[in-house]
Amino acid sequence: MLNLILTALFFVLPAYVANMMPVFFAKAGWLKVLGYPVDGGHKLGNQEIFGSHKTWRGLAAGTIGGIVTALLLAGLSNLPFFNNLALLNYNHNWLVFGALAGSGAILGDLIKSFFKRRVGIKPGSTWLVFDQLDFVFGFFLFTAVIIWPGWKIFVVACLATLILHPLSNILGKLLGLKKNWF
């Protein structure tokens, strides 16, 4: 069971990193030129399409985070312990996998934001379960063009995320990186 959990976490790590990168890039002031909304401020009816916090900088940051993390996994997968956790050959696929992982995670969040606006939930407000799993669903959807790890890995990754996501938000709040606890 421990091996299954570690394998799932190793596989989904680029999505976790990608999901955190928009906050870090915004706080650091990196890629300011891309700091405008993906939806351009347009509305669908009377509601924002995605919201002002969903920016091109966030999409770029997440993609960069996914790529860098996949490169790190490629290096780690050459070590026996991590090689046993690797579900794909990162040395041959790290760039494509990382780009798909990072952009998939951010686009999963973007799609969730679209639906969040449709049901009247304001940006920054919590939508339990959806706010925690959106980036994981996007990650699995996009990376499936390279590899589908199976339902066990998917379910373990989702369950682990439901535990780790709130903990990372609490840490982000304590460090002053986030305004909300969730």
For the segment 27-76, what is each residue's pLDDT rounded down to a tens digit?
999 999 999 999 999 999 888 999 899 999 999 999 999 999 999 999 99
The pLDDT value given to residue 169: 78
Residue 114, CB-side half-sphere exposure with 13 Å CA sphere: 11
The pLDDT value given to residue 168: 83
For the segment 64-88, what is each residue's pLDDT rounded down to a tens digit?
999 999 999 999 999 999 999 999 9
Residue extents of the structural domains in the chain: 2-174
For the segment 114-151, what is each residue's pLDDT rounded down to a tens digit?
999 999 888 878 898 998 999 999 999 999 999 999 99
pLDDT at 181 over 70: no
Q: CA–CA separation, 153 vs 8, rounded Å?
A: 5
